[in-house]
């Protein structure tokens, strides 16, 4: 503690990493929103004025009749949202790289009680043809019934679905009697990359239920389950509580989402993160083209705030002496570098210099 009673920082606030946009702190405008929502009493569990206003804000982006259920985190949003779309015997067709399949510790299956039917994809994106690999067996009592398709926007490998691609998936799913869920943990990054409104590739493209991400785009905590087609979801008012995702002081989650979406903070932050990822890739590509570095490759398109690269053996570990980031596929040397709303050009340039040094030293 400081002498004035405040908390003494335990970290270097100037240090930036390239491991995850979850590493970033909260945007100052978000902290201001939390402070503004403090003081006095508001009815708990979502009957506050902030949560009421939040519905109006979401309707501006997604259209009249949109229903919003704020939750604590992305895993909770996915589990609760998918549960509302499925009977007990239901299954979800999703990409094998999807967060619900590889990064949520079995929560959709163990907590949500649903079967996941993963499909391998080259770029993290499903297509109608890929969906058909697992969309079969209706009426077979021995097979979990494929009733939902779940896609991620932007994907776990940084690629982005176009509105037409989402529409093709939605139409195909609906023709099969299935509904479409979108994991939008990085939805703002996708909208910034596509330069279109949020509803263009969600509600207007046929998405039924959306997990809307905030934490990766500058919130302290908080996401939301967004119902775009009321007929596709049921019981969310009960499921959110049953899954321990209903905050008693919900006004503080809602206030953050209002601050993010009422103005252009969501777009400013996401656009900046995307541009920093583009700067990182372009700088490294230039070094490669100029012959200053060798052995660096790129394994995916850089369409949002992620750069997927391949490095020679030992280089990643050398780089991690200064910068933290994750292996994506250690067997092939593939790594993931993420940029955030607070990543600066100087941060990117310092990392590029470190990559140059690590590759030159091998």
Residue 89 confidence (pLDDT):
97
Residue with tokens 């009957």: 47
Task: pLDDT band for 7, please (50, 70, 90 cuts).
Answer: confident
Residue 121 confidence (pLDDT):
98
pLDDT (tens digit per residue) in 277-308: 999 999 999 999 998 899 999 999 999 999 99
**pLDDT above 70 coverage of the chain, percent:** 99
Strands 145-152 and 90-95: parallel
pLDDT (tens digit per residue) in 204-237: 999 999 999 999 999 999 999 999 999 999 999 9
pLDDT (tens digit per residue) in 148-206: 999 999 999 999 999 999 999 999 999 999 999 999 999 999 999 999 999 999 999 99
Question: What is the CB-side half-sphere exposure of residue 313 using CA atoms within 13 A?
Answer: 1
What average pLDDT does the structure give for the chain? 96
Residue 98 confidence (pLDDT):
98
Q: Is 294 exposed, middle or buried (0-12, 13-18, 19+ CB in 10 A)?
A: exposed
Label each residue of 118-184 as H, E or C: EECCCCCCCCHHHHCCCCCCCCCCCCCEEEEEEEECCCCCCCCCCHHHHHHHHHHHHHCCCEEEEEE
Residue 6 confidence (pLDDT):
78
Instruction: Provide mean pLDDT across the span 336-362.
Output: 96
Q: Quick one: tokens of 92?
A: 């979800």
Instruction: Provide mean pLDDT across the span 140-155.
Output: 98
User: Residue 2 pLDDT more than 80?
Assistant: no
Instruction: Provide mean pLDDT across the span 32-52.
Output: 98
Q: Is the separation of the CB atoms in 183 and 202 below 8 Å?
A: no
Go through the domains of the chain in sequence order and give each one's CATH number: 28-263 (3.40.640.10), 266-360 (3.90.1150.10)
Residue 38 confidence (pLDDT):
98
* Alpha carbon 58 to its chain's center: 18
Task: pLDDT band for 1, please (50, 70, 90 cuts).
Answer: low
């Amino acid at each position: 503690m400081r002498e004035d009673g405040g908390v003494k920082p335990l970290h270097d606030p100037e240090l930036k990493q390239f491991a995850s946009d979850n590493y970033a702190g909260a945007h100052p405008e978000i902290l201001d929103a939390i402070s503004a929502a403090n003081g006095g009493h508001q009815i708990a569990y979502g009957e506050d004025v902030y949560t009421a206003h939040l519905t109006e804000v979401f309707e501006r982006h997604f259209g009249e009749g949109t229903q919003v259920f704020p939750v604590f985190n992305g895993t909770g949003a996915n589990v609760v949202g998918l549960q509302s779309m499925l009977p007990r015997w239901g299954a979800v067709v999703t990409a094998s790289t999807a967060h619900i399949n590889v990064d949520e510790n079995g929560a959709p299956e163990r907590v949500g009680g649903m079967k996941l039917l993963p499909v391998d994809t080259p770029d993290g994106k499903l297509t109608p043809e890929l969906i058909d690999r697992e969309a079969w067996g209706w009426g077979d009592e021995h097979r979990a019934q494929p009733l939902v398709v779940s896609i991620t926007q932007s994907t776990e490998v940084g690629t982005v679905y176009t509105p037409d691609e989402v529409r093709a998936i939605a139409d195909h799913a609906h023709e099969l009697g299935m509904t479409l869920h979108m994991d939008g943990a990085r939805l703002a990054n996708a909208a910034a990359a596509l330069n279109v409104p949020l509803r263009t590739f969600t509600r207007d493209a046929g998405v039924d239920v959306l997990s809307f991400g905030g934490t990766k785009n500058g919130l302290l905590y908080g996401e939301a389950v967004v119902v775009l087609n009321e007929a596709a979801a049921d019981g969310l008012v009960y499921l959110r509580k049953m899954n321990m995702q209903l905050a008693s002081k919900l006004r503080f989650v809602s206030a953050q989402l209002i601050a993010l979406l009422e103005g252009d903070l969501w777009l400013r932050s996401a656009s900046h993160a995307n541009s920093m990822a583009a700067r990182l890739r372009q700088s490294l590509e230039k070094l490669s083209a100029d012959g200053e570095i060798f052995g660096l490759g790129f394994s995916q398109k850089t369409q949002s705030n992620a750069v997927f690269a391949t490095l020679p053996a030992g280089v990643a570990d050398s780089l991690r002496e200064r910068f933290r980031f994750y292996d994506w596929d250690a067997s092939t040397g593939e790594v993931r570098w993420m940029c955030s709303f607070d990543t600066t050009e100087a941060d990117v340039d310092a990392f590029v210099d470190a990559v140059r040094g690590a590759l030159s030293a091998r």
